[in-house]
Amino acid sequence: MIEGFIVLGIGGLLWVVYWSVNAAPEMVFMSGLWVVGSGFAFGVPAGLLYHVLLRQALRSADVLPRGWWIQPTALHHLIPRSDRFRVLGWCYAGALGFFVIVIGLPMLAIGAWRIG
């Protein structure tokens, strides 16, 4: 299943690059700006909520290590089963926001390059 998402992601990125090269430069730049802004507006709060929920879940299970924020994904196996869906849902939502940013950055760069 993850392979399907990877293929869709690569296909989407290739489509964005193709569209960015063929559309009006100002439209590409502004679209890229909106896509990146949307990714940040959604991804940053989702990532923040993921970290808050992860800390709560690990603390309630009494397995919160020092420096837990440095590599939080390595601690997913410590999340109690009852909290796993809630915590990891926000993790994946934050990852989706990051993916939207990654899609928007080539649009922004190609638009700026074509305008200048």
pLDDT band at 6 (very low <50, low <70, confident <90, very high): confident
Instruction: Summarize pLDDT for 22-78 with one digit per residue, the tens.
Output: 889 999 999 999 999 999 999 999 999 999 999 999 999 999 999 999 999 999 999
Instruction: Summarize pLDDT for 70-95 with one digit per residue, the tens.
Output: 999 999 999 999 999 999 999 999 99
Classify 80 as helix, strand or coil. coil
Q: What pLDDT does residue 72 have?
A: 95
Report the number of distinct structural domains present in the chain: 1
Give the global pTM: 0.81
Q: Give the domain extent around 40.
A: 2-115
- Asked if the model's pLDDT at residue 1 lies above 80, the reply is no
Provide the 8-state DSSP code for 21: H
Q: What pLDDT does residue 14 have?
A: 86
10-22 CB burial, b ≥16 within 10 A, e <16: eeeeeebeeebee
